[in-house]
Amino acid sequence: MDAKISVNQIKKNFNALPVVDGVDFSVADGEFVAIVGPSGCGKSTLMKIVAGFERPDEGSVNIDGKPMTRPSPKGIVISQHGSVFPWLTVQQNLMFGLNGDQQHGEKAALADHYAEMVGLKGFENAYPHELSGGMLKRAEIARALVVKPEILYMDEPFSALDALMNLKMRNELLRVLSEERHTVLLITHDVEEAIYLADRILVLSARPTRIQASFKVEQPHPRKLSTPELQQLKENILSQLGL
């Protein structure tokens, strides 16, 4: 089977400083892959390249076997600080990505459906500054889901939230993904988050970054991080990160 995302030996320098140094991996259709790495190792650069916002100096990124040259609604990025437009209501934000020629009513209904799915029913006409951090994150996830992307690129999606909301959003994400299957590439520095969510975990080295280790997580959801297997996995990953 062909990989959904295949990243082939990409390299990227910033002013002669190598940041990404020959990263190579692939993600299968419907797979949830997490990439963990120390801060400043080039995780976000890697994500920008894979999502099409930046071009690698060498190597290539293929989506469904076709070279990726620029961002497209096929893969939507959800980032740490979020990008829900503050000047649009929740509903208008959710309708933003609907470029098709559906009637306004159809688009609104679709938007409301996803607002309900992420638990924002009743807030369709609220402006983002009237929402809490967790609700904003839900709005952002819903806005991505509305366009039925095949891939979700999540770059530290929950790290700006407080610890409790962070845990809650993990479960929310799993629930949403159980309703609609997507291929997910998650970048995080939070090893537990990666273990809780992902099917496979790639560990990046320090800069210039390359893939240092890969772990499969076989346990079914919902996972309990306190089980010996997952504790051992966490130990292994942390030791790869030099801890």
Partner 1 sequence: MERLNKIWPPLAVLTAIVAVWWYVVVATESLIFPTPAQVVTGTMELVEDGSLWEHIGASLMRVGMGFSLAILVAVPTGLWMGRVDGAFRTLNPVFQILRPISPIAWIPVAILWFGVGNASPVFLIFIAAVFPMIVQTAAGVHTIEKRYLRAAENFGVSRSRLLRQVIVPAVLPEIIVGMRISLGVAWLVVVAAEMIALRSGLGYLIIDSRNAGNRYDLVIAGMIIIGLIGLALDGIMRLLEKLKVVRWRYGR
157 binds partner 1 (CB under 8 A): no
Return the residues of window 194-233 that contact partner 1 according to CB under 8 A. none
Indicate whether 159 belongs to the interface with partner 1 (CB under 8 A).
no
Is there a contact between 122 and 89 (Cβ–Cβ < 8 Å)? no
**One of 8, 13, 72, 219 touching partner 1 (CB under 8 A):** 72
Query: Under the criterion CB under 8 A, does residue 53 sit at the interface with partner 1?
Result: yes
Shortest distance in whole angstroms from residue 150 CB to partner 1: 13
Cα 80 to Cα 57: distance, rounded to the nearest angstrom: 25
Among 71, 119, 133, 208, the residue binding partner 1 under the rule CB under 8 A is 71
As a whole number of angstroms, the distance between CA 91 and CA 99 comes to 15
76 part of the interface to partner 1, by CB under 8 A:
yes
Sign of dihedral through CA atoms 104, 105, 108, 114? Answer: negative
Are 232 and 219 in contact by the 8 Å Cβ rule? The answer is no
Which is nearer to partner 1, 129 or 216 (by Cβ)?
129
129 touches partner 1 (CB under 8 A): yes
Which residue of 13, 59, 96, 174 would you call a contact of partner 1, by CB under 8 A? 96
- DSSP secondary structure letters along 55-112: --SEEEEEETTEE--S--TTEEEEETT----TTS-HHHHHHTT--SS--HHHHHHHHH
* Rounded Cα gap, residues 135 and 132, in angstroms: 5
* 79 in contact with partner 1 (CB under 8 A): yes
Do residues 107 and 143 touch, judged by C-beta distance below 8 A?
no
Residue 102 CB, nearest approach to partner 1 (Å): 14
77 binds partner 1 (CB under 8 A): yes
Would you count residue 51 as binding partner 1 (CB under 8 A)?
yes
Q: Tell me how far apart the alpha carbons of residues 48 and 54 are, in angstroms, rounded to a whole number.
A: 6
The reply to whether 85 sits near partner 1 by the rule CB under 8 A is: yes
**What's the CA gap between 9 and 24, in Å, rounded?**
5
Count residues near partner 1 (CB under 8 A): 25
Residues that bind partner 1 (CB under 8 A): 51, 53, 70-73, 75-77, 79, 81-83, 85-88, 92, 96-97, 99, 127-129, 147
